[in-house]
């Protein structure tokens, strides 16, 4: 990826932390924005659309995708498969889009290895009780699914140190501002890198 510039932000965090809510804010406020639509074998939630939140597929088709080398990374999360497709990312880089990934903590590590300029934010609510309340009030998952996601949250929290930023999503207004600041500062930092390389080329 030498001399290729890209603005990439990876968000991770326990289920119910507020990743989708904050993604929406970026989608509405960042120009030339691209959300990496993952492929998953989990069932769609009521409001979700195929090709908007996710590409929903079967386990068989997902495994075929792995065999064909279609994924940049893929993981089993909460008993389902999730994967990031390579092709649209390569295209979004060429089109100089701002790329956002919403992936689990292991997906984060893989993407960082592929794309070292990427920055990452780990999103958490202020405590597990709030997380539980949000999962129940969202009303999209069964009690069993919520319990599984809560117990996985404790595991996921152990990886928070690997991220560039930690966002405690308590007050919605402050969190929206914080995620926008991170995204915009990332664009500025990468712009600086691009400028330095350009100037070095002129000096040759």
Annotated binding site for ATP: 13-20
Q: Tell me which of ligand ADP, ligand 5GP, none is bound by residue 85, counting a contact when its beta carbon lies within the kind-specific cut-off of 5 to 8 angstroms.
A: none
Closest separation between CB of residue 155 and ligand ADP, Å?
15
Q: Tell me which of ligand ADP, ligand 5GP, none is bound by residue 98, counting a contact when its beta carbon lies within the kind-specific cut-off of 5 to 8 angstroms.
A: none
How many whole angstroms separate alpha carbon 106 and alpha carbon 199?
Answer: 37
Among 107, 134, 146, 163, binds ligand ADP (CB under 6 A): 134
| Opening angle at CA 57, ends 55 and 62, nearest 5 | 105
Nearest to 163, CA basis, from 6, 7, 12, 8:
12
How many whole angstroms separate alpha carbon 48 and alpha carbon 46?
Answer: 6
| Backbone φ/ψ region at 51: left (φ over 0), alpha (ψ -120 to 50), beta | left
Q: Tell me which of ligand ADP, ligand 5GP, none is bound by residue 57, counting a contact when its beta carbon lies within the kind-specific cut-off of 5 to 8 angstroms.
A: none
How many whole angstroms separate alpha carbon 190 and alpha carbon 8?
Answer: 10
Q: Is 175 in the site for ligand ADP (CB under 6 A)?
A: yes
Question: Applying CB under 6 A, which residues contact ligand 5GP?
Answer: 12, 15, 38, 42, 73, 75, 77-78, 82-84, 102-104, 106-107
Query: 150-189 burial by CB neighbour count: b if 16+ within 10 A, else e?
Result: bebbeebbebeeebebebebeeeeebbebbbebbeebeee
Q: Tell me which of ligand ADP, ligand 5GP, none is bound by residue 169, counting a contact when its beta carbon lies within the kind-specific cut-off of 5 to 8 angstroms.
A: ligand ADP
Q: Is 107 in the site for ligand ADP (CB under 6 A)?
A: no
Closest separation between CB of residue 122 and ligand ADP, Å?
11
- Per CB under 6 A, residues contacting ligand ADP are 13, 15-21, 134, 137-138, 169, 172, 175
């Amino acid at each position: 990826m030498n001399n290729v510039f890209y603005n990439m932000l990876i968000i991770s965090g326990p289920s119910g932390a507020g990743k989708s809510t904050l993604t929406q804010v970026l989608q509405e406020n960042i120009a030339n924005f691209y959300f990496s639509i993952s492929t998953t074998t989990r069932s769609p939630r009521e409001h979700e659309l195929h090709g908007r939140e996710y590409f929903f597929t079967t386990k068989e088709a997902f495994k075929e995708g792995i065999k064909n080398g279609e994924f940049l990374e893929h993981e089993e999360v909460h008993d389902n498969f999730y994967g990031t497709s390579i092709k649209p990312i390569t295209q979004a880089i060429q089109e100089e889009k701002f790329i956002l990934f919403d992936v689990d903590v292991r997906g984060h590590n893989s993407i960082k290895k592929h794309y070292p300029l990427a920055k990452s934010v780990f999103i958490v609510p202020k405590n597990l009780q709030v997380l539980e309340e949000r999962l129940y009030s969202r009303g999209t998952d069964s009690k069993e699914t919520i319990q599984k996601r809560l117990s996985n949250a404790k595991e996921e929290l152990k990886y928070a140190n690997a991220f560039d930023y930690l966002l405690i999503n308590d007050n919605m207004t402050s969190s929206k501002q914080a995620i926008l600041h991170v995204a915009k500062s990332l664009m500025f930092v990468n712009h600086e890198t691009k400028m330095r390389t350009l100037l070095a080329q002129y000096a040759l």
